[in-house]
Amino acid sequence: MSKIEFVKSHLIEKLNEHIETASTIYMLTSFVMKSGVDVIQETLRKAAERGADIKICAGDYLYVTQPEALRQLIAIHPNVEVRLWKSNGISFHPKAYLFENQNDGYFIIGSSNLSRSALTSGVEWNVGVPKCVEESVFAQVMNEFLTLFYAEQTVQVNTETLKQYKQQYDDYHQRHTNLVRQWTKLEEVELMLPTTKKEETEMIYDEKASYGTIQPRFAQVEALAQLEATYEEGYDRAMVVMATGLGKTYLAAFFARKFQRVLFVAHREEILHQAKRSFAQVLSNKTFGIYDGKMKEGQADVVFASIFTLSMKKHLEIFAKDAFDLIVIDEFHHAAAKSYERVLAYFHPKFLLGITATPDRNDYKDVYALCDGNVAYRIDFIEAVQRGWLAPFHYYGVYDDTDYTKIAWCGNRYDEEQLLQAQLRHEMAERILQAWEKYKQTKTLVFCSSIRQADFLADYFTKHGYRAISLHSKQIHITRSKAIELLEKGKLDAIFTVDLFNEGVDIPAVDTLLFVRPTESLTVFTQQVGRGLRLHPEKQYCVIIDLIGNYRNADVKLALFDTQKEERKKQKSVIPVTPNGCVVDFDVRVVHLLEEMRRKRQPRKEKLFTDYEDVKQQLGRRPTYLELHLHGRSIAKEYRDEFQSYVGFLYWANELSEREKEVFLKYEAWLTEVERTVMTKSYKMVVLQAMLNRGPSRWHLPITPTEVAPFFHQYLIEKEYRKRIDFSDGETKRLWQYDEQKVAKLIAKMPMTKWSGSSNGLLSFENNVFSPTFSISTEDEYILYEWTQEICEYRLHAYFERKSGGGIRK
Tell me phi and psi for residue 445, to 5 degrees. -105, 130
**Smallest Cα–Cα separation from 604: which of 566, 643, 573, 565?**
643
Q: What single string gives the DSSP state of each residue in 341-398?
A: HHHHHH---SEEEEEE----HHHHHHHHHHTTT-EEEEE-HHHHHHTTSS--EEEEEE
The residues, ordered by sequence, that sit 6+ positions from 686 with a Cβ below 8 Å of its Cβ are 711, 712, 715, 716, 751, 796
| 3-state secondary structure (DSSP) of residue 595 | helix
Judged on CB neighbours under 10 Å (0-12, 13-18, 19+), 619 is middle
Helix axes 451-463, 426-439, angle to 10 degrees: 70
Q: Give helix 604-619 / helix 159-175 axis angle, nearest 10°.
A: 100
CATH class name, domain 393-599: alpha beta
Burial 348-385 (b: 16+ CB within 10 A, else e): ebebbbbbbbbbbebbbbbbbbbbbbbbbbbbbbbbbb
pLDDT in tens, 168-193: 888 887 776 655 444 444 433 433 33
What pLDDT sits at residue 572? 60
Amino acid at 801: E
CA distance to 492, 500, 517, per residue, from 473 (Å): 19, 8, 18
Please state which architecture CATH assigns to domain 5-192. Answer: 2-Layer Sandwich (3.30)
Helix (H) or strand (E) holding 803: helix 781-803
Q: What is the distance of C-alpha 499 from the center of its chain? A: 18
Ranges assigned E (strand) in 123-257: 126-130, 154-156, 237-242
Q: How far is CA 87 from CA 64, 151, 415, in A?
A: 12, 12, 11
Pairing of β 763-766 and β 5-7 = unpaired
- CA–CA gap between residue 91 and residue 612 (Å, rounded): 32
In angstroms, the CA 618 to CA 360 distance is 19
* 687, 752 contact by CB (below 8 A): yes
Angle, helices 67-76/34-49, rounded to nearest 10 degrees: 10
Distance CA 638, CA 646 (A): 9
**Stated pTM of the model:** 0.67
pLDDT at 150: 87
What is the C-alpha to C-alpha distance for residues 524 and 360, in angstroms, rounded to an integer? 11
375 bridge partner residues: 239
Which helix (DSSP H) or strand (DSSP E) does residue 202 occupy? Answer: none
Look at the alpha carbons of 179, 183, 189, 190 in this order and tell me if their dihedral is positive or negative: positive
Give CA–CA dist 558/633, Å, rounded: 18
Sheet holding 326-330, edge to edge: 288-291, 302-306, 262-266, 326-330, 351-356, 237-242, 375-379
Under a CB-based contact definition with an 8 Å cutoff, are residues 106 and 99 in contact?
Answer: yes
Sign of the alpha-carbon torsion through 489, 493, 497, 501: positive
Rounded distance, CA 355 to CA 223, Å? 11
Cross-strand bridge partners of residue 95: 29
Give me the chain's average pLDDT, please: 87
Give the closest residue to 412 by CA, choosing from 521, 565, 324.
521
Return the closest-CA partner of residue 447 out of 472, 412, 480: 472
Q: Quick one: pLDDT at residue 364?
A: 52
Strand partners, 108: 97, 128
Q: Are 787 and 647 in contact (CB under 8 A)?
A: yes
CATH topology of domain 219-379: Rossmann fold (3.40.50)
Within 10 Å of residue 193's Cβ, how many Cβ atoms?
8
Per-residue pLDDT of 202-225, as tens digits, reads: 333 333 333 345 889 889 999 999
- pLDDT of res. 191: 34
- Identify the pLDDT of residue 566: 58
Report how far apart, in Å, the C-alpha atoms of 118 and of each of 64, 95, 113, 499, 673 are: 14, 11, 6, 40, 60
User: Is there a contact between 201 and 450 (Cβ–Cβ < 8 Å)?
Assistant: no
- Residue 16: partners with Cβ closer than 8 Å, 6 or more residues away: 40, 43
Residues of the chain below pLDDT 50: 180-212, 807-810
Q: Cα 625 to chain center, whole Å?
A: 19
